Structure 1
């Protein structure tokens, strides 16, 4: 009898999880240091983690990196204009 379960989702690898974790780390760093640079790096790592199989968390890391970059730029503007 043929296998009835045919999944199109990729299995999660440890490399995908590492990319996702690094995406979250760069999201936090983007709030405090070089928001544009760390935000873009976190975004790329989150997308790579999601494509490699860590679907929900990879996309959350990518979104958190964008949010961290925006928040970091807003905080920098507030601090520099004070």
Structure 2
């Protein structure tokens, strides 16, 4: 059971991108293409995985829209990790 849940969480970002499409993330949410996975990871703390699992797609979209505004504000403060 645990392995199945871990696998579901691992493939979740790709499934979400496939479900909503990259156009939704780029045009609707204004998330830069190179930040899609970072944004999805950021949003998992808002329950989007559970919303997806329970087929609450409208609530999921609402959550993504809300979190996109915050994420886009925060990204200006994020410092990229660099290797020394």
TM norm. shorter chain > 0.5: no
**Higher relative contact order (Cα pairs below 8 Å, separated by 6+ residues):** 1
Normalised by the length of structure 1, the TM-score is: 0.31
Normalised by the length of structure 2, the TM-score is: 0.31
